Structure formats: structure tokens, C-alpha cells
Amino acid sequence: MIGAQGFKGKSIQASLLAKSFGSIHALREVNLEVGAGEKVAIFGPNGSGKTTLIKVMATIMRPSSGRLHIAGMNPGENGHDVRRLIGVVSHNTYLYDDLAVEENLAFYGRMYGVENVKARITNGLRRVGLERRSRDRVRTLSRGMQQRLSIARATLHEPPILLLDEPDTGLDEAGQAQLWEMLTSGYADEPTVVMTTHNLKLGMSLCSRWTVLVDGEIVSEVAKENSSSESFQALYRRYAGAGT
């Protein structure tokens, strides 16, 4: 069984999460609950704290205060177990320029202790359309290809929770259309997804819950079935305009 059905509770529970850098308050009192298998989109203007929120949930940034539970576990105590459940795609690709495509994946495979690495690498590369380039150095790939590889990297260990920070960065039209396919085609059960993007259309079509983050606070949360994309876009513009 793959997928998030295994947990009884929520995949992500964040309450009163705050993060400040010196005197800059990137996040203030964020409350967010994401159920197993749920897909949540986070929209917000530049500097509103989206990346910070994703990094805190991905356990690579410590929150200044507040509580965070991933699959019922506290990352501060069960860091390893939490991290094994998470895959992150962001505008940083986390790839090594001077290693070949397959070497990058092999490295992460070893770090996660993935079994059958060879087969999984081949699979992953096929999913993102890079099987022909497996011997090339990452340096020689275009930006969009690197983003594709980054998707293969993040899903190599088949994490039930995907945290995506502008995963569409650099992807061409076909790539954006296939984004979901590339991310989740290896899964038997739907993974939990939290994603940020500046592409409202894309985010709205992929996710079933739409939230707006402004100035480090979630100011609006809308379920897909309760709203039309037009009215949400209008709502978003109001917030985004006021936020900056």
C-alpha cells in the first residue's frame, strides 16, 4: 500500500507557526491542516512567506514558535522518520552540477536508503522524459530539464507527502501539463500535496483547496467545490494588491 491512507489523522498539522529572520517576520501564526491525500495550493505575492512555510514544513527551517506535526510526528524529535515521508520540489533543484543525471539520483537514493535504485532511477527518468540524458552532467541540461530531474529526485523514495514550491519553474507548456503525471504516476494511492505557485490556473486545476498567504498569514481558504475560479481569482487579486 502506497499513499496516505495509512495514517488515521492528518498528514500535516501546523498551528500558530511563526518564523522570523531577525526583525523580519516571514510567517506569523499560520494554521494549516492537511488531511491524507488532500491537495492544497498556497498562493501569495512575492515575499509573502510561501517558501518559508514550505521550508519549515520540510524541516529544513526551524520555526521560531508554534507547533508542527507531520503524520502525527514532531520533526524536532523524529526528524529522520518525518523526512523519509517528505519529498520537496522547489525552485532550487538541489542537484549537483558536476555529477551526471543518474549519479545525482543515485546519490539521493543512497541517502534515503532506497531499494532497487537502478530500476527506480530508470523509471523516474522515463517519467520526466530524461532517459536519453542519464549520462550527461546536470550542468549541460537546460533549466526546464533540471526542473524535471528535480522532480525525479524528489519522488525517488516515493514519499507520501509532497511539498512543492513553484514546481512549475522553467517548465514548458507540455511540462506544466504533465506536471501531475510526472509527480504522481508512480503512486498507487494519491499522495498528500502542498504546493505554491504564481500560476493561478495551474494551482487551481491541480488542487482541491486554495489558500492565500499574505504577509505571513493565511488570509483566505477556499474549497474548490465552494468556489468558482473566477471569483477566487478576483478574491486573490484583492489580497495580493493589498499585500504589497
Partner 1 sequence: MRAFRRSIDVTPGLGRSFVAMGDGLTAAISISRAAVGPPSFFRQVGAILWKDLAVELRTKDILSSMLVFGLIVLVIFNFAFELRGENLILVAPGVLWVAFVFAGILGLGRSMAQEKERSSMEGLLLCPVDRGAIFVAKMLGNLIFIVILEAITLPIFAAFFNLPVLTPGVGLIVVLGTLGFASVGTLFAAIAINTRAREVMLPILLFPIIVPVIIASVKATAFVLDGKPWAEIWPWVNLLIAFDVIFLAVCFVTFEYVIGE
Partner 2 sequence: MSAVSGKGGVPTRKGDNLVNILGFVSFLLIAASMYMGLVFAPEEAVQGPAQRIFYVHLPQAVGSYIAFFLVFLGSIFYLWKGDVKWDVLARSSAEVGVLLTSLVLITGSIWAKPIWNTWWTWEPRLTFTLVLWMIYVAYLMLRWASEGKQGARYAAVLGIVGFFDVPIIFLSVFLWSKGLHPRPAGMDPGMLAALIVSIFAFLLLFTYILIQRWRWETSKEMVEEMKLKLGR
Edge-to-edge strand list for the sheet holding 10-21: 24-35, 10-21, 65-70
* Minimum CB–partner distance for residue 2 and Mg ion (Å): 29
Q: Give the range of 43-51, 94-102, 167-175, 220-228 binding Mg ion by CB under 5 A.
A: 43-51
Distance CA 64, CA 67 (A): 10
- Min dist CB 194 to partner 1, Å, is 15
The answer to whether residue 26 forms part of the interface with ligand ATP (CB under 6 A) is: yes
Question: Of 47, 66, 129, 144, which one interacts with ligand ATP (CB under 6 A)?
Answer: 47
3-class DSSP assignment, residue 17: strand
**List 2, 20, 112, 176, residue binding partner 2 (CB under 8 A):** 20
Quick check: 70 and 43 in contact, CB under 8 A? no
Per-residue interface string for the shown chain with partner 2, residues 50-89, x marking contact by CB under 8 A: ------------x-xx------------------------
Beta carbons within 8 Å of 121's beta carbon, 6+ residues apart: 102, 105, 106, 109, 134, 152, 156
d(CA 212, CA 182): 26
**Taking CB under 8 A as the rule, does residue 79 contact partner 1?**
yes
C-alpha 3/C-alpha 130 separation (Å) is: 25
Binding site for partner 1 (CB under 8 A): 1-8, 21, 55, 58-62, 71-73, 77-81, 83-86, 88, 92-99, 103, 107-108, 110-115, 120, 156-160
